Amino acid sequence: MFESLIANIIVEFAKGIFLAIPRAIKNYKFVRFFGKESIKSDRVFLVLDPYEHPTSRANLRPGMHRFIKDFKGRKPNANLIGEDKVLGSCSIRVTKYATSIFGIHREKTNPIKTVLDENILNDWECSLICSGSSDSNIKTYDIENLPENNLYSFGFGSNGYCEFDITGEKYSINQDGDAGIIVRINNPHHPEHKLFICAGIGEWGTSGASYFLFKNWKKLYKRYGKNRNFVIVLRVPIGQDESAREIRAFNT
């Protein structure tokens, strides 16, 4: 009986070692790609971009509404006052993609924190994964304007549409879908942390960039390693963020 117990302990110990080695390798690559503190620290934030209706709840006249809820034919559409701060449906998809991958590597008791951009306005001692362009996300705007960002710029084209500019080449929404970018910049204030942007011209470019990042981070680590800053341009069919495909890349 005792010998059988010892044998079982040895077998289970061997299984544990066998499983621990590949996990340790994956975690090693994960922290090199997403930042030294990306597994253990509580200073890792997924940053979402809320927006507000220009008419506040306090200023609504009786009977006024700000939003419409489409009930898809189940009953008549409803007029709603709605919340003062809202998030797009894109934010749900982005949160799903981020938490699924970080949940594999982080302890369940210490998940990646999801915050609004306005809640960390002056925070730099952290790793950031910002969802949305500088049109809507304050921290994306801050990262975009760092001196260390020599990867891309964001603005308006001659046709009036927003566009990403990567070394003179312009990318915007076209007949093939939305344009999205993935950006990684070493945090200049705290080198143990990384700064990421997943942004689109529209919502599908943003969630497509997030999906592509978390689906392909191992390949991106193999390509860019620990320290290289990079930007990847994606084409994302509208309504199909999991079909995002790379069309351009640039790194420093």
Q: What is the pLDDT of residue 9?
A: 45
131 and 230 both lie in a single domain = yes
**CA dist., res. 34 & res. 242, Å (int):** 21
> Are 125 and 153 within one domain?
yes
Judge if 168 and 59 occupy the same domain: no
Amino acid at 6: I
Q: Are residues 61 and 30 in the same domain?
A: no
- Which CATH number does the domain housing residue 150 bear? 3.30.379.10
Question: Do 169 and 242 lie in a common domain?
Answer: yes
Question: Do 42 and 66 fall into the same domain?
Answer: no
Decide: pTM greater than 0.85. yes
What is the pLDDT at residue 16? Answer: 53
Consecutive sets of 10 residues in the chain, 252 residues long: mean pLDDT of each?
A: 54 53 87 93 95 88 90 94 92 97 90 96 96 97 97 88 94 95 97 97 97 97 96 97 96 94
Q: State pLDDT tens for residues 22-64.
A: 888 899 999 999 999 899 989 999 999 999 998 888 888 888 8
Looking at the 3D structure of the chain, how many domains does it have?
2
- Structural domain of residue 58, as residue ranges? 54-84
- Residues 75 and 106 placed together within one structural domain of the fold: no
Q: Do 112 and 135 have their domain in common?
A: yes
**152 and 110, same domain (yes or no):** yes
Task: Verify that 79 and 134 share a domain, yes or no.
Answer: no
For residue 17, what pLDDT is reported?
A: 54
Count the alpha carbons within 13 Å of 145 in the hemisphere toward its beta carbon: 9
3-state per-residue secondary structure call for 129-186: EEECCCCCCHHHHHHHCCCCCCCCEEEECCCCCEEEEECCEEECCECCEEEEEEEEEE
Residues 147 and 218 in one domain: yes
Q: Are residues 69 and 176 in the same domain?
A: no
Within 35-150, residue ranges assigned H as helices are 89-105, 138-144
Give the pLDDT of residue 188. 96
Residue 108's pLDDT is what?
84
* Residue range 120-142, pLDDT digits in tens: 999 999 999 999 999 999 999 99
